[in-house]
A and B are shown apart, each in its own frame.
Chain A
């Protein structure tokens, strides 16, 4: 058909395509890293160094795009993901991202991992106007379209998480007396701000005590005792794994039995709850926004079966119990969605345009009813989550979705 276009087919094609996608489909436009046959993406990952456990995310992405390419690619183009090791070191991330942008000339960066590494490249990629998409970090500062229009995060942000705890308490325990423990750094303050914003002026009086600790502190025992002494019956625990374990254990040992909300960072069954003793963690609450591969309620879920099939066929060496592999799958699907939406206009500007105009994207591995949305002045991709309760074995979702908006 393309070899011998008649005036009529051309007109029909133009008319039908002009409707939904305007001029995007009418002619092919390519920015750096895109051509008739290929779309080049880049990322940095901590394959070595202190955070190398997250390296599985990059490996899953590679496997995912291999599957996409075997099935014909995206609009006929193969996706090449150049994934480089930064060892979780900011200077190395700068070097590697410069390689991706200046030498490999990728169309966009995808899922660069870690707050320190992304902070180091934040200014550079925005000066170079390279789409810096779906960062694998929860810091709230990635949603700042005014100052950094080329950067957009993926994770439920720390502030959103805090707001969700606040909303849950306002709705279900309006008379709660809340004590908060937080880590005194960007992450801890980010999450605390979310809680305080969520409570607002009406809920502010619910907070009866706040305590902070430094990452360098040996324990948080004294903080727990102070919080307990305040007479609080609800405890929001904003801590990283080591301190989360200490706080949960101390709250148990001291006989304080509050309604205990532990933030997602400190809710790992393997590295936090198991050392504490699983029986002492029954009833803890946290948030989740995608399906847990260990939760039996999703055992026969079609999306979960599809993911397991993918793991078995394309990423055998990956651990199907590791939630990072599920997370990585969702992020890759999101990226593919954006690239598909770009059609034949594969310029950096259009990639950014599509990434910031995601409307009601419901990926099947997200919790039921969840949808991702962005707009040019709202870069928060995920703004919903569900509370999950620890049963003694696993985190089980409970109640309905809570949204930070509305």
Chain B
């Protein structure tokens, strides 16, 4: 990657960050709440993308980790009076362990078999949450209502704006961590396992360990997202985490762009806003409209939104470098 392209990326990133900080002051609280959810989904999608996009393992059950994170936050706040910010690391750690443990045996499966095993997890969890034995914690089918965090008294922002900035800070941290992870040795090992598992093993990569760790980290991201989502929604119930949540997350990473960090953001915008658009177009068949959007997106942008932008930028540069021959190299 050339220096100018890095500079270009940094400028775009800085611009995006400024926009993200100004945004909550120019839109209504309801819209702020929606964008908070976009950030929440972006974290979850980044986690799933590590697993599916980078490591090549398909999970159809990440909604389960989202639910575990959400319930961890809700139970800690509701039953134990833990402050909301302290629930995030706990939810993340819990999902890291849960994901790793689920990953160990499940990763003996390859491809479609793994996706079925994870699918089973996603289908089962809402019912497990209603189980009588843990009802005094989970609230059974009723779920748990939690209080929305107040901003510190010295800060003149609304609850929604405060929660947005908390979520933004967590998102930035998670993306920064993810960026470092994926660009480094572990990230290369993950991609190597996806593309050439035998060659990776021959090179000394501990494939099963890396795969299980990836599963764990991926679950951790999704769990943190779940906890933030629960705090934003102020309510958790088994019906909030049906299998459609898991499917929605997979749709999000594919639409956003597999194996792309920025793709998580595009995918999050898609899963947050497209169902609302579909509902506005047709009450009779909102899912048909949603499906149509999905097909059009996949047809126009087969590599996801992030891939589409990457190609568009590359083309634009090629056009420029042909007009002014310079030492710019295609990456």
Question: What is A's interface to B at a CB cutoff of 8 Å?
Answer: 45, 47-50, 55, 58-59, 62, 83-85, 87-92, 94-95, 98-99, 102-103, 116, 119-120, 122-124, 184-187, 214-216, 317
Contacts and interface: CB of A to CB of B under 8 A. Distances in A.
| A-B complex: 9 closest residue pairs judged by Cβ atoms | A85-B279, A102-B30, A116-B239, A120-B235, A48-B286, A185-B141, A90-B240, A91-B233, A98-B30
Given A50-B242, A120-B235, A58 B142 contact: no
Interface of B: 28-31, 33-34, 37, 127, 130-132, 140-143, 145, 229, 233-235, 237, 239-240, 242, 244, 275-276, 278-279, 283-284, 286-287, 290
A102 B233 contact: no
A47 B233 contact: no
A53 to B, nearest CB: 13
A185 B34 CA distance: 32
A255 B78 CA distance: 49
Secondary structure of the B contact surface, majority rule: helix
A85 B140 contact: no
A186 B142 contact: yes
A85 B30 contact: no
B279 A47 contact: yes
B145 A55 contact: no
Contacts of B290: 48
Contacts of B276: 84
B233 A94 contact: yes
Contact of A47 (B34, B130, B286): B286
Contacts, number: 98
A59 B284 CA distance: 9
Given A48-B279, A48-B286, 11 more contacts: A47-B283, A58-B283, A83-B283, A85-B278, A116-B239, A120-B235, A123-B234, A124-B234, A184-B132, A185-B141, A216-B131
A99 B234 contact: no
Nearest to A88: B239
15 contacts: A45-B283, A48-B287, A90-B235, A90-B237, A91-B37, A94-B234, A95-B33, A98-B33, A99-B30, A116-B141, A119-B143, A123-B234, A123-B235, A124-B234, A214-B131
Contact of A185 (B29, B140, B244): B140
A108 B229 CA distance: 27
Contacts of A59: 283-284
B235 A119 contact: yes
Nearest to A55: B283
Nearest to B245: A89
A116 B237 CA distance: 7
B78 to A, nearest CB: 12
A161 to B, nearest CB: 18
Contacts of A124: 234
A123 B240 contact: no
A214 B33 contact: no
Given A119-B145, A120-B235, A91 B286 contact: no
Contacts of A216: 127, 130-131
Contacts of A92: 275
Contacts of B287: 48
Contacts of B37: 91, 95
A158 B206 CA distance: 58
Given A98-B33, A214-B132, A85 B145 contact: no
Nearest to A139: B142
A56 to B, nearest CB: 10
